[in-house]
Amino acid sequence: MVEKKFTVLDLLSMELHGHDEIALRCIAGRSGLTRAITIPDINRPGLALSGFFDSFAYQRVQLFGRGEVAYLNKLAGENDLESLQTFFSFQIPCCIFTHDLIPPQPFLKLAEESNCCILVSSLESTELSNRLIRLFTNVFAPRKTMHGVLVEVFGEGILLCGHSGVGKSETALDLVERGHRLVADDIVEIRCVNGNTILGTGANSLISHHMEIRGLGIINVSQLYGVGAIREQKEIQLVVELEEWNSEKVYDRIGTGQRTMDLLGVKVPSIEIPVKPGRNLPIIIEAAAMNERLKKMGYNSARDFNQNVLKWIETGEAQAAYYGQDDKY
């Protein structure tokens, strides 16, 4: 599992776009940009500003909205800085002001003296809170790297696993040729988001959409098949384990049992597909993806087949099929 130190400078330097953009700029306390953010949450410091510091969550990023700024202006006007001095005596990661609000000069002076970075965003408080929590959830998510290929087939994120040389990349290339999308080849970085969702992406964004095909070499999937053949990340919803066909091994032929693989504490459905000449792996994987979608919609083919067989046996038609009239007497 990867340990990651995340600093205020990392937060300020992140290139985010669209609904993820937080639009931060630093206005004071630049010497505190190297402070680490260790807790993926935020705190509204209203009680602390009023002088109540019991259970003060100082380890979190402190978020100031219109109400907090109005109170800061009141304290500055009355020259009552005692609570602010106590506030900055804690090792606070940073303070973020919303609505493009600028704190009063005494606050900025104390921030500079205590090496606490002051950031400003044009977003409103609620929206910035949601975006920060979403960002922190992603940054601090447990993660690790795996050897495999991640593809999207009919909207399902499928992680192809198996020993080197079993045919993962060739199978993925065939799936891309059939109109599906590649997420990452060879090294896949997975992370657990919200405790129950496993997201996969390329461990290196510069080479994640390149594939190594034995006998052919390195190919760039986005250049060969267009940007529609790739995507940056995808939830892993099914693990397909490819292995060389073993004639002495008994493989599942009905599918009533549900196999899972543990990925960062989350049980992800998995299937085992034996590989041998003549088997069309892309079609099998497409069928597995559609079957997994059916299961999520409440229909289980194997369970339905089993129930129909039991009903057929109960009706007595099974006996008539296997025993003649003479066998009944």
Residue-by-residue DSSP string for 126-180: HHHHHHHHHHHHHHTS-EEEEESEEEEETTEEEEEE-STTSSHHHHHHHHHHTT-
Distance, in Å, from the CA atom of 77 to the CA atom of 81, rounded to the nearest integer, reads 10
DSSP character at residue 39: S
Catalytic residues: 147, 168, 186, 253
Secondary structure tally for the chain: helices H, strands E? 11, 17
10 Å Cβ neighbour count for 236? 25
Spatial distance between the Cα atoms of 238 and 129, rounded to a whole number of angstroms: 33
Question: In Å, how far are 72, 183, 190, 265 from 1, measured between CA atoms?
Answer: 42, 21, 10, 12
Per 3-state DSSP, the chain is made up of helix, strand and coil in percentages (nearest 5) of 35, 25, 40
Q: CA 313 → CA 157, 200, 319, 324, distances in Å?
A: 38, 45, 8, 16
